[in-house]
Chain A
Amino acid sequence: MSILSSPFAKKPNSVTQMMLWVVIATLPGLLALLYFFGFGVLFNLVIACSVALITEALILKLRKRPIAPILWDGSAFVTAWLLALALPPLLPWWMTVLGTSFAIVFAKHVYGGLGNNIFNPAMVGYVLLLISFPLEMTTWLPPQELAANPVGFIEAISIIFTGAASDPAIVDSLKQGVDGFTMATPLDHIKTELAQGYRIPEAESAAIVSGLSGVGWQWVNLGFLAGGLVLLFKRIIGWQIPIAVLLGMGLVSLPLFFANSDHYLFPMFHGFAGATMLGAFFIATDPVTASTTPKGRWIFGLGIGVITVLIRTFGGYPDAIAFAVLLMNMTVPMIDYYTKPRVYGHKANKGHGTKKGHDEKTSAIKAKGAN
């Protein structure tokens, strides 16, 4: 008989349940995306998720691991789901396939599968696509209110799979290029304008940048914020990382804004632009690749926030959540090592495994054993 250790009671929770909640919590944001940017997102989701599950199953088979229980944990599904939410709606299908399978194979299984990967797989896939296909990856549809010819269901399928639309009007706008059919994101727009020597207030006069952080985008971010709050409330994610990310962004963008509001965006704009809320609540909180200690979570989140604003402001890319997350992923082992919490009965943070602490401990244990 194999001897089982206590505890025998078990909280009725599971990884599958956690992952399911993450997917559910993205729904408000997803709805906003669907409303403003059409059905393309839906196809991205379907393609990404099915590719992720198939790739995962194949790899597990190759690695001679049990397939069903691991597939069922839902982690591959969530990776693909989050990646698809971050992709432009009308991205050609094969790019989605490439990004997703790269994420599963190279960012996850090469490191040993779930729990062993250092980098957030969804963001690895995203960054791969971003640096390989910068044009496609920064080309978004105009939000529904600004679109002359909103893209319908059939058109979306057609564009994603064949690169051509059936509706003549859309074919026309496709031919016209950037101005007619596709459009930059607000962040991208502002970056371009600033580069051309305009000031922020001038750049903000464009239709796409109206409102809190641009038409459509503010609602997408609000949607993800709402979903994130649900996750916080359900205690699926800790509160430290999302708050720290937003705080980190504020810490950099506020002084910049006060120093020169002509050149630097208002912090609120940063908070609701691009992938901020998705990143803060869904990406940065990926348990596998985030820091796990209480202090470490703060450092990790602050780092992401700061790096994001720095790259957005001074770097070459309009948005930077993905880069910031990956950069901070790298530092996690070190953060975790230096932020061990103070253990019950120990004085302040003892030296990290210094010889002295070790000796005291063993001698104390010996003394106890001798009693």
Chain B
Amino acid sequence: MERSNFTSEIAIFEIPGGVHPEEHKLQSNQAEIRRLPLADELVINLKGQAGNRSLPVVSVGDKVLKGQMIAECDGVFSAYQHAPTSGEVIAIEKRTIAHPSGLDDLCIVIKPDGEDTWAELSPVENLEDLSGKELSGKELSREKILAQIFEKGIVGLGGASFPSHIKLKQKDNIHTLIINAAECEPYITCDDKLLQEHAEEVLKGAEIISKLYHDIKIIVGIEDNKPKAIEALDSARKSLELDSIKLGIVPTKYPSGGEKQLIQLLTGQEVPHGKLPADLGLVMHNVGTCFAIYQAIALGKPLVERLVTLTGEACQEPGNYWIPFGTPVHHLVTATGSTNPKRLIMGGPMMGYELPNDQVGIVKATNCIIMSADGELGMDKTALPCIRCGKCMDACPASLLPQQLYWHAQADEFDKAEEYDLFDCIECGACAYVCPSHIPLVQYYRYAKSTIRNNRIEKSKAEKARERHEARQERLERVKREKAERHRKAAEARKKAAAEAGKKDAKKAAVQAALARVKAKKEAQKATDDNQDGES
């Protein structure tokens, strides 16, 4: 593929490992960005972001307008959801969602009315001219922008769907904003295309973010296989007079677009284990997120659609399309005239996942749908034993020992796998890509990771059960003790009472006896008297 001859404006460092898979980007980055006709129904997944499931605020039968809020945040770590078009809510039920498990989860189903009528939009005022210096004025409070980003349901569009308001919350010690335009995965071209056609909006969005931190430095990290996007960025920067923005051109190598990897490429620093980029004073956002933030702030548009790359050999009209969230994948397949794709992959071929069926709706994280033809992707090979060739190790961008991780994961030696830093694996798939034995390495790591996580949850549940059981035992014991104590006391009381009663009886008896004695005496006297009387 064509490489840009634009020289990087900042020093570029190296990352270890990495691979060069076939790029397959030309298929989709030639045509202009297009739109497809609306689908018959939109299935909006309420768990379409990292964090908690959104809570629906509409009920079945409600009419909604495009951009109207239909689900609210459940806590801070969640996101608002908005109707992607105008229409009627026809169901709130469990549907298959975009997740590798193929499980069901709660979705809001909207039947479009075809009008696509926008609800009233509420842009942040005084933002007519974003290129000017007005932005630094006091009328734009940080809170106001953050609230707008929060309410418009903006999440990271790079793939993880991390709610943006959380990422932007940290205020102190941030000195550099990195715009991630690397887009290192094969096939995907949505960021490339977005920059080619909307570079100005992206940069304006980036500027809004930088204002949040009082004009921090902006670096755009982009791979050199996107010459047109780089040109577009350069000219947008000139026309917006944003000369402080630096372009960091990194050599094309997968996975240079990983957050940690791009940071290493552009700054030479590593995000310390267990820390966040913010701890290095860095904040990173994807180009798509910048665009969405611009739309939310300047136009008041909530996040209701995104640019999705539709590609793969089975796709008859590959390209990039604005797709409303919730559009079922089967609609995308038919609307692009694609026939019998062998596999449907959401995301790229390195880190995406195969869809369980074509009913799944597009979510905020969906950057690409690959409709692959038979034999297009080089998988499906039988795994052979590991020969410890170490090619995985040479490819690992995190400098892990993938062969050891595999060894321990397949033997269920999870503590050993953790000792080899299993949780530092970013699941980029470079190791499995180069493995000559075709071992599905990443699946082993995911298996080990998810098992360890589940075990931890079970462990803490068991711990809780134990505590409750012990508390109960103690309580029962206490109750028994108290009961026994009560019994003992009662018995004592009785005894005392009995003793007391006994004492009383004795007195009585004594009295009686005394009385009897007196009586007897009297009687005896009487008798003697009588005798005396009789004798006398």
Q: A contacts B directly in the complex (CB < 8 Å)?
A: yes
Q: Does A197 contact B (CB under 8 A)?
A: no
CB pair B102–A3 under 8 Å, yes or no, is: yes
Q: Does B352 contact A (CB under 8 A)?
A: yes
Interface size bracket, A side: 35 or more
Q: Nearest Cβ in chain B — how far from A230, in angstroms?
A: 17
> Which residue, of A287, A345, A353, has the highest number of chain B Cβ atoms within 10 A?
A345
B382's closest neighbor in chain A, by CB?
Answer: A69
Q: Nearest Cβ in chain A — how far from B446, in angstroms?
A: 6
Partner of A287, one of B372, B377, B388, B401: B388
Q: How far is the CA of A11 from the CA of B381 in the complex (A)?
A: 11
- Please choose the segment from A33-41, A188-196, A211-219, A357-365 that sits at the chain B interface, where 4 or more of its residues have CB less than 8 A away: A357-365
Partner of A10, one of B100, B356, B381: B381
CB pair B438–A10 under 8 Å, yes or no, is: yes
Which B residues, 318 to 351, have Cβ-Cβ distances below 8 Å to chain A? 343, 345, 347, 349-351
Q: How far is the CA of A238 from the CA of B274 in the complex (A)?
A: 32
User: Using an 8 Å CB-CB cutoff, how does the interface string of A264-308 with B read, 1 for contact, 0 for none?
Assistant: 000000000000000000000001101011100100000000000
CB pair A8–B354 under 8 Å, yes or no, is: yes
> Which residue, of A73, A361, A362, has the highest number of chain B Cβ atoms within 10 A?
A361
B133 contact set on A, CB distance < 8 A: none
CB pair A364–B433 under 8 Å, yes or no, is: no
Q: Does A13 contact B (CB under 8 A)?
A: yes
A346 contact set on B, CB distance < 8 A: 272-273, 421, 424
Q: Does B22 contact A (CB under 8 A)?
A: yes
B420 contact set on A, CB distance < 8 A: 340
Partner of A9, one of B353, B377, B393: B377
B354 contact set on A, CB distance < 8 A: 3-4, 8
CB pair A8–B379 under 8 Å, yes or no, is: yes
Q: How far is the CA of A361 from the CA of B420 in the complex (A)?
A: 11
User: Using an 8 Å CB-CB cutoff, how does the interface string of B410-442 with A read, 1 for contact, 0 for none?
Assistant: 000000001111011001011011101110101
Q: Does B174 contact A (CB under 8 A)?
A: no
Q: Does B390 contact A (CB under 8 A)?
A: yes
A12 contact set on B, CB distance < 8 A: 378
CB pair B436–A4 under 8 Å, yes or no, is: no
CB pair B443–A361 under 8 Å, yes or no, is: no
B385 contact set on A, CB distance < 8 A: 70, 113-116
* Contacts A4-B440, A7-B432; A343 near B399 (Cβ below 8 A): yes
Partner of B272, one of A116, A347, A368: A347
CB pair B378–A10 under 8 Å, yes or no, is: yes
Q: Nearest Cβ in chain A — how far from B262, in angstroms?
A: 13
Q: How far is the CA of A144 from the CA of B135 in the complex (A)?
A: 87
CB pair B436–A13 under 8 Å, yes or no, is: yes
B436 contact set on A, CB distance < 8 A: 13-15, 17-18
A255 contact set on B, CB distance < 8 A: none
Q: Does A205 contact B (CB under 8 A)?
A: no
CB pair A353–B399 under 8 Å, yes or no, is: no
Q: How far is the CA of A343 from the CA of B274 in the complex (A)?
A: 12
Q: Does B361 contact A (CB under 8 A)?
A: no
Q: Does A344 contact B (CB under 8 A)?
A: yes
Q: Nearest Cβ in chain B — how far from A35, in angstroms?
A: 32
A371 contact set on B, CB distance < 8 A: 77
Q: Does A367 contact B (CB under 8 A)?
A: yes
User: Using an 8 Å CB-CB cutoff, how does the interface string of B251-295 with A read, 1 for contact, 0 for none?
Assistant: 000000000100010000011111100000000000000000000
Q: Does B398 contact A (CB under 8 A)?
A: yes
CB pair B356–A1 under 8 Å, yes or no, is: yes
CB pair A15–B390 under 8 Å, yes or no, is: no
CB pair B388–A292 under 8 Å, yes or no, is: yes
CB pair B399–A360 under 8 Å, yes or no, is: no
Q: Does B21 contact A (CB under 8 A)?
A: yes
> Which residue, of A6, A341, A358, has the highest number of chain B Cβ atoms within 10 A?
A6
Q: Does A5 contact B (CB under 8 A)?
A: yes
A367 contact set on B, CB distance < 8 A: 274
Contacts between the two chains (Cβ within 8 Å), count: 174
Which B residues, 439 to 456, have Cβ-Cβ distances below 8 Å to chain A? 440, 442-443, 446, 453, 456
Q: Does A75 contact B (CB under 8 A)?
A: yes
B102 contact set on A, CB distance < 8 A: 1, 3
Q: Does A316 contact B (CB under 8 A)?
A: no
User: Using an 8 Å CB-CB cutoff, how does the interface string of A249-261 with B read, 1 for contact, 0 for none?
Assistant: 0000000000000
B264's closest neighbor in chain A, by CB?
Answer: A344
> Which residue, of A7, A287, A342, A364, has the highest number of chain B Cβ atoms within 10 A?
A7
Q: Does A369 contact B (CB under 8 A)?
A: yes
Q: How far is the CA of A362 from the CA of B421 in the complex (A)?
A: 10
B21's closest neighbor in chain A, by CB?
Answer: A9
CB pair A10–B418 under 8 Å, yes or no, is: no
Q: Nearest Cβ in chain B — how far from A173, in angstroms?
A: 45
Partner of A368, one of B16, B274, B378: B274
A14 contact set on B, CB distance < 8 A: 381, 436-438
> Which residue, of A5, A15, A353, has the highest number of chain B Cβ atoms within 10 A?
A5
B403 contact set on A, CB distance < 8 A: 292
Q: Does B216 contact A (CB under 8 A)?
A: no
Q: Does B160 contact A (CB under 8 A)?
A: no
CB pair A70–B384 under 8 Å, yes or no, is: yes
* Contacts A13-B434, A288-B387, A361-B273; A293 near B393 (Cβ below 8 A): yes
Q: How far is the CA of A271 from the CA of B10 in the complex (A)?
A: 46
CB pair A344–B387 under 8 Å, yes or no, is: no
Q: How far is the CA of A368 from the CA of B16 in the complex (A)?
A: 25
CB pair B442–A5 under 8 Å, yes or no, is: yes
Q: Nearest Cβ in chain A — how far from B258, in angstroms?
A: 10
Given A3-B101, A292-B388, output 14 extra A-B contacts at Cβ < 8 Å. Answer: A4-B354, A5-B353, A6-B351, A6-B353, A7-B442, A8-B372, A11-B378, A15-B437, A114-B387, A345-B271, A345-B424, A361-B418, A369-B453, A369-B456
> What are 12 inter-chain pairs, A to B, with CB distance below 8 A?
A4-B379, A7-B350, A7-B430, A14-B381, A14-B438, A343-B273, A345-B272, A346-B272, A347-B272, A358-B419, A361-B423, A369-B456
Leading 9 A-B pairs by shortest Cβ distance: A364-B274, A7-B429, A10-B378, A5-B443, A287-B389, A9-B349, A115-B385, A292-B390, A344-B398
